[in-house]
Amino acid sequence: GPTRLADYRPTDYLIDTVELDVRLDETTRVVSRLRLRPNPLGRAGAPLALDGGDLKPLRAVLDNQPLDLAEVATPERLTIAEPPRRAFTLEIETELDPAANTRLEGLYRSNNTWCTQCEAEGFRRITYYLDRPDVMAVFTTRIEASKEEAPILLSNGNRVEAGEAGPGRHYAIWRDPHPKPCYLFALIGGDLDSIHDEFTTASGRKVDLGIYVEKGKKHRAYYAMQSLIHAMRWDEFVYGREYDLDVFNIVAVSDFTMGAMENKGLNIFNDKYILAVAETATDADYARIESVVAHEYFHNWTGNRITCRDWFQLCLKEGLTVYRDQEFSGDQRSRAVQRISDVRALRAAQFPEDAGPLAHNVRPDTYREINNFYTATVYEKGAEIVRMLRALIGHDAYHAGMALYFERFDGKAATIEDFLSCFAEAAKRDLASFAQWYAQAGTPRLHVKGVHDAKAQTYTLTLRQETPPTPGQTTKKPLPMPIRIGLIGRDGAEIPMVQDEPWSAREAKFGVFELPGAERAIVFKNVPTPPVASVNRRFSAAVILEMDLSEDDLLLMMAHDSDPFNKWQAAQSLATRLMIRSTAAIRAGEMPEFSEKFAEALGRALEGYEGDPAFAAQMAALPSENDLARDIGCDVDPEAIFLARKALRDGIGRRLGQRLVTVYDKLHSDAAYSPDAASAGRRALRSACLDLYAAGNHADGADIALTQFQRATNMTDKMGALTVLSRLPTPTREKALDFFFRAHCQEPLITDKWFSLQATIPEPDTLARVKRLTKIHAFNIATPNRVYALIGAFANGNPLCFNAASGEGYRFVADLALEIDRVNPQVAARVLSAFRSWRNLEVERRAQAEQALKNVSDAPKLSPDLRDIVQRALA
C-alpha cells in the first residue's frame, strides 16, 4: 500500500556511527559496522527492521554473535526480532555487482567509474540500513580498489588516511564529522582528471575545491569551478552561510538519472551540468551549469545541515533551494530575464502537472514511489511558495526567519511546519492559511476586474481567486497571495499610487497587495482617466491571471510597462489570443488571423534592444505549442495549434523582413566568445531574429543560416543556425545535420543536441526518423541523457508528431517506456510522464492516448515506478 504522511512516527532505533569498508572490484564487498541504540522516542524492545534493496547478504553479526542469515535476511529486509535494550553493534557484509546495476541507484559504474546515487532510497541497495532521512549518523568510509583502475578514491568529509593495500591495490579513509542521513552518502572510485582551486570563507577557513571529470575533459571544468566560487561567496553574502569542511569536491559522470546530487562534501553531477567550453556548450548550457552547481552547493545548508524529517517534506529542501538558486542566477545575470525564464519553465512543466491527472500537493500526503515526486510541483512550485512568502512578509522578516531556521534546526531533520514557524515568529503573523499552499494541488485562477469612476476619480480593482478541483481534492480554500500592481496612464507613464486607509504600510510602499481571502477590492484614488492596470508584476503570485485587457491595453503595456515581466507578458498574452483564435478558425476550415499591430509592436521591441538584448530575445519567443494547448485547456487539437502558431510566426517573419536582418547584422560580433550574460543576450537575440526571418520564407533565409553555421566558432551560434536549418525541409538541412554529426559524434553531449533537434522537427516523417535514430550506435537506452535527448525531446518538444492522429507517436513512446523500464525504472517513469495532459486532448487522440497507456498498464512485470505513473495517469 501507499506510504502516508499521517502515519509518520520516529524510528525505534537510532544509528550513531557507520563504518563502511568498501572493496571495489568486479564483485564488490561492503562491510558495514553500525552503532545502534534504542530511540528514546521509539517503542522499547520493538523489532529492528533494516531496509534492503535487492541485496545479497554474506554475513551479519550482532555484538560479536553471528546471526543465521536464513532466519534474519531477505534481499529486501534484515530483521532482528529482539534486539538488545541498550547500545549494540551490528556488522553486516553484502556483495554487489556494480557493473550490472543499470538502475543507476546505489553503487554503479558509469564509464568505468564507480559511483553512487542514494537519494531517495538508494543506500539500501548498498547495505541494510534504516534508510530514511530522520536517521542521522557520522560516517567513516574506507574504500579500497586497484591503483590502476581507481587511482582516485573519494567519499564524504575529509580524507583522514590513505595507503597501500596489498599488491596493486590501495585504500583511502574518509570521515564526515557531520551527522547525516544515508541519502547524502557518496563514494567514487575511478581514473579521473581533476582541476583544483581554493576558497577562503568569511571566517578564514581555507577550503580545497576539486572538480573531477573523465579523462581528457578537464579543460571543460573551469566554468563550473568559477560558478562554485561565485555560489560560495553569494551564500555568505546573502544568507550568511559558510562552508563547513576543509574539502569540497564535485565529480561529473556521464550516466546519471537526474541533474545532480548534493552528497555532503562530494556532489555528484550529470556531466552535462559541469562540462562547458565554447566549442561544446551553448549559452543556455552555461547558464544551467551555473545554476545547478549553485543549487547543489546551496543544499549544504538547505538540505544537508538541515534535512527533511521524511520524504513528504522533500519541498522543504528542494523548493527552498530552487528559490535560492533562482535568486543567485538573477544576481549573476539579468533579474528580469531570469524571472521570465523561470516562469516560462514553471508554466511549461508545473502548470500542466497541476491541471492533469498527476496533480499533487507541493507536500504530498501519500505516495507509492517517492522517486516519482521529484517533480516540477515539488521543485518549481515549491520555490514559488518561498518567493510568495518573502513578498508577503518582506525582505527583513524573510531573512530574520531564515536566520532563525538555521539556528534552530541546524543538525536536525525538519518539517514544513518547523520552517513556517520561524517566519511566523519573525514576521509576527499567523501563517496557518499560507501553509495551505503546501497542502492544496492545482493552480489558482485570479480573476481581476477594473472599474474607473470618472466623477470620484477612483479606480477600483476587484481581485477574486478560485482553484479548480484536482484528483482527490474537490473543494479548495483561498490562499493568501501577494499581488504586485501598478497603474499605467494612456501616455504610458506610471500613475503614482495614493494610499487608501485599508492598505498596509508595505502595500503603500511597494505596491505589493495581499489577497488574504477569496476576494478583495482595492481602491486607487486620484485617478482622473481610466488607467491600464498592470497586475501580478514580476509574477508575484503563481497563479493564472484572468483579466479583460483590450488589445490596445496590451499594446500599451508592451511598449511602456515599467515592469519588464509584464511587458513581456503583454506580448505573450497578445500572441496567445491571436493564436487561440486562429486555432479555432483553422479547425472550422477558415483562415488564421494576423495582426499588423502586434507584428509592428514586436518589431519595435526587437529594434529597441539596446538596454537588454536578452530581454528582447524573450519578447521574440512566441508562446510554445504546449503553452497554447495548456491555455486552451480542453478539446485540444495539436495540429490546429501547430498551424496557427506557424501562421503567426511566418506572418511576422514576412512582415518584419529586412528589419530582422538589420538587427541580426547589427548584433554581429568578431570578439572572442565569452559566456557572460550580456554577450549571451546578444547571441540570443541574433538567433531569434534569424529564426523569425527564416520562418518568413525569404529566399535567403537558409543561406544566412548556412553561412552562420559554417563560420560559427562557438556552439551557441552553430546550434542557433542548425536549429533554423532543421526547420527548413531542404537537402541543405540533411547535409548540415550529417556534417554536424560527423564533426561531433565523439562527444555524446553534443550528439544529444543533434538528437533533440531532429526529434523536434515538426514534419510527418519525424517519427520514422526518431525510430531510425534509436538504432544507431550513438544511441543507448541505458544512458539517461540519450533517452531524454531523443525520446524526451520527441514526446515533450514535438507536440505535432507525438500527438499524431494515428496514435503511433503515443504507441512509440509507451513501448519505449516499457523497454526502458527493464533497464532503469526511474527513467521509464519520467518518459511516460509525457502523457500527463492526455485527458485534455480532443476525443480521438484522447482515445488513442488512453489505449497506449492501457497497453502499458496491462504489460507484465512493471516496476513500481512505472506502475505508479500509469495508474495515476489512468485513474
Q: Which residues bind ligand ARG (CB under 6 A)?
A: 119-120, 257-258, 260-262, 295-296, 318, 371, 374, 826
- Supply the minimum distance, in Å, between the C-beta of residue 637 and ligand ARG: 35
C-alpha distance from residue 296 to each of 299, 304, 813 (Å)? 5, 10, 31
- Point out which residues pair with 100 in neighbouring strands: none
Which one of ligand ARG, Zn ion, none is in contact with 258 (Cβ closer than 5 to 8 A by kind)?
ligand ARG
* Ramachandran angles phi, psi of 124, nearest 5°: -65, -10
In the complex with ligand ARG, which residue's Cβ is closer, 315 or 337? Answer: 315
What is the rounded CA–CA span in Å between residue 117 and residue 104? Answer: 7
What is the rounded CA–CA span in Å between residue 278 and residue 282? Answer: 7
What is the rounded CA–CA span in Å between residue 295 and residue 705? Answer: 36
In the complex with ligand ARG, which residue's Cβ is closer, 228 or 261? Answer: 261
Q: Mark the segment that binds Zn ion (CB under 5 A) among 21-29, 310-318, 564-572, 670-678.
A: 310-318
Contacts of 578 by beta carbon, 8 Å cutoff, 6+ apart? 593, 594, 595, 598, 648
DSSP 8-state class, residue 480: -
Cell of 633: 485547456
In the complex with ligand ARG, which residue's Cβ is closer, 123 or 565? Answer: 123
Which one of Zn ion, ligand ARG, none is in contact with 622 (Cβ closer than 5 to 8 A by kind)?
none
Does residue 76 have an active-site annotation? no
Which one of Zn ion, ligand ARG, none is in contact with 745 (Cβ closer than 5 to 8 A by kind)?
none
- Supply the minimum distance, in Å, between the C-beta of residue 303 and Zn ion: 7
CA-nearest of 823, 843, 747, 762 to 798 is: 762
* Ramachandran angles phi, psi of 18, nearest 5°: -130, 130
- Supply the minimum distance, in Å, between the C-beta of residue 825 and ligand ARG: 10
In the complex with ligand ARG, which residue's Cβ is closer, 91 or 325? Answer: 325
What is the torsional sign of CA 214, 217, 218, 222? negative
- Supply the minimum distance, in Å, between the C-beta of residue 438 and ligand ARG: 18
What is the rounded CA–CA span in Å between residue 777 and residue 756? Answer: 16
In the complex with Zn ion, which residue's Cβ is closer, 176 or 318? Answer: 318
In the complex with Zn ion, which residue's Cβ is closer, 267 or 582? Answer: 267
In the complex with Zn ion, which residue's Cβ is closer, 267 or 415? Answer: 267
- Supply the minimum distance, in Å, between the C-beta of residue 214 and ligand ARG: 21
**Which of the residues 119, 290, 296, 593 is marked catalytic?**
296
Which 317-336 positions form the footprint of Zn ion (CB under 5 A)? 318, 321
What is the rounded CA–CA span in Å between residue 532 and residue 546? Answer: 15
What is the rounded CA–CA span in Å between residue 438 and residue 388? Answer: 12
- Supply the minimum distance, in Å, between the C-beta of residue 260 and ligand ARG: 5
**Contact status, residue 473 vs residue 436, Cβ threshold 8 Å:** no
Which one of Zn ion, ligand ARG, none is in contact with 706 (Cβ closer than 5 to 8 A by kind)?
none
In the complex with Zn ion, which residue's Cβ is closer, 302 or 716? Answer: 302
What is the rounded CA–CA span in Å between residue 303 and residue 295? Answer: 11
Peptide bond just before 120 cis, omega within 30 deg: yes
* Ramachandran angles phi, psi of 143, nearest 5°: -115, 135
**What interhelical angle do 335-345 and 564-587 show, nearest 10?**
30
DSSP H or E stretch at residue 488? strand 481-488
CA-nearest of 778, 849, 772 to 807 is: 849
Per rule CB under 5 A, count of chain residues that contact Zn ion: 2
Residue that has been written with the C-alpha cell 523582413 in this structure: 657
Summarize as ranges the residues that interact with Zn ion (CB under 5 A). 318, 321
Q: Which residues are catalytic?
A: 296
